[in-house]
Amino acid sequence: MHDTFKAIKISDHVYWVGAIDWSIRDFHGYMTKRGSTYNAYLILAEKATLMDTVRTPFRDEMMARIASVINPADIQYIISNHSEMDHSGCLPEVIDAVKPEKVYTSVMGAKTLKEIFHGDLPLIPLKDGDSLSLGNMTLSFLETRMLHWPDSMFSYLAEEQVLFSQDAFGMHLASSQRFDDEVDPAILRYEAATYFANILTPYAALITKLLARVTASGLNFKIIAPDHGPVWRTDIHGIVNRYAEWALQKPARKAVVLYGTMWHSTEKMALAITEGLLTGGMEVKLMSMDACHRSDVAFELLGAGALIVGSSTLNNHMLPGMADVLTYLRGLKPKNLLGAAFGSHGWSGEAPRQIEEMLADFRVELVGNPIQTRHVPDQGVLTQCCELGRLIAEKLRDKVGD
């Protein structure tokens, strides 16, 4: 084991021993343009405890960071807060290497890890509210089912007020900085919001309930240690409040117009709708799916109140890029959006109706009927598009107030 990698102290007895993935650019469809980290933590209690592990190819980096502060064979407990393989991938190998006394996870974590690794992992299930003595310190556990997997849980180290929050409050950001106050605030805010939009949007209602539970439990934390990105030691209230706000998905005076176009006819319609929205006083994000990524669309929708989608019709279907982004959004289920469909076609023109059906699937409130035209839109069609933009702006103003 080489000694290049070092552990980084995050509180008196807790060290970051994770790994930095500078190169990853795709996480199941979410474009991670700044890479990521897989955070594992070492608690130097009487019972030395490893909190989560890392993605398999980064095992040696994590073990080397551990070895910079203790002999890995001295780890007595391992806790798995989240079974997804970016945090558990090397768990069986780490268990083999350090031979801990005990390996703890949630009830659902034990089930999931068995389904992932099969064989006989020595897992001890923990229930919501359980505590575990580390000798001179105590961990307590809070189940956070479906945030964002059924197995997910938080661990809390009372003596040092550290909340190990697995994916929650995380972000995909590879950087040399380990703490929130060391990162450019604009990048921090953007990446935290992008992470929420792309990972947590489907579970927004559960987040609202979880934050209420955390408040009611009276837990005080001065550090939030997530499984990705920087450790929060400064803007704790800021990130918790932003989660509370994002989880509500309140509509705002902003519209996102997405389109795919073959010969710029659908694009002309998108521009006319955008002008109508602007005339109506809306902020607008116009996104050609030839130029934008689906995960940027998810980010833009986090603070929007309308989603208007257009596509040319190609061989009786919407363009592949539009099916891609709408399939992604249908999974994320953003809430409280007004919407509409539009598009140009040569002869059959199925795309706008197909778009409407997909928007209806995630309960977008449709305004009017789809606007369609053959080939290049004439002035009458463009005026109709502009009026649609104005109408959506008016309805959005009624919804969110002036």
Q: Which of 2, 3, 28, 115 is catalytic?
A: 28
**227 contributes a contact to ligand FEO by CB under 6 A:** yes
Q: What are phi and psi of 279, to 5 degrees?
A: -60, -35
- Asked if 296 touches ligand FEO (CB under 6 A), the answer is no
Judge whether 267 counts as a catalytic residue: no
Which is the catalytic residue, given 15, 38, 156, 195? 195
Tell which positions 331-390 bind ligand FEO, by CB under 6 A.
none
Q: Mark whether 228 is an active-site residue.
A: yes
Listed in sequence order, the residues at least 6 apart from 142 whose beta carbon sits closer than 8 Å to its beta carbon are 128, 129, 153, 154, 155, 156, 213, 214, 217
Judge whether 170 and 229 are in contact, CB under 8 Å: yes
Handedness of CA 394, 283, 301, 234 (dihedral sign): negative
The interface with ligand FEO within residues 124-143 (CB under 6 A) comprises none
21 belongs to the catalytic site: no
Which position among 13, 47, 59, 87 is part of the footprint of ligand FEO (CB under 6 A)? 87
**In sequence order, which residues have a C-beta less than 8 Å from that of residue 218 and are 6 or more positions away?**
none
The reply to whether 86 belongs to the active site is: yes
Cβ proximity of 377 and 266 under 8 Å: no
Q: How far is the CB of 380 from ligand FEO (least distance, A)?
A: 50
Nearest to 193 by CA among 165, 219, 229, 222: 229
When asked if residue 167 is in the footprint of ligand FEO (CB under 6 A), the reply is yes
3-state SS class at 113: helix
Count of chain residues binding ligand FEO (CB under 6 A)? 9
Q: Which is nearer to ligand FEO, 38 or 342 (CB)?
A: 38
Report if residue 52 touches ligand FEO, rule: CB under 6 A.
no
Measure CA 346 to chain center.
Answer: 39
Active site residue 293: no
User: Known catalytic residue: 317?
Assistant: no
* Under rule CB under 6 A, residue 82 binds ligand FEO: yes
DSSP 269-286: HHHHHHHHHHHTT-EEEE
- The verdict on whether 148 is a catalytic residue reads yes
Examine residue 21 and tell whether it contacts ligand FEO (CB under 6 A): no
Helix ranges restricted to H, 102-227: 107-117, 185-195, 204-217
The answer to the question of residue 55 lying near ligand FEO (CB under 6 A) is: no
Distance CA 173, CA 21 (A): 9
> Any catalytic annotation for residue 143?
no
Single out the residue of 21, 52, 61, 86 in contact with ligand FEO (rule: CB under 6 A).
Answer: 86
Catalytic residues: 28, 82, 84, 86, 148, 167, 195, 228
The residue ranges that bind ligand FEO (CB under 6 A) are 82, 84, 86-87, 148-149, 167, 227-228
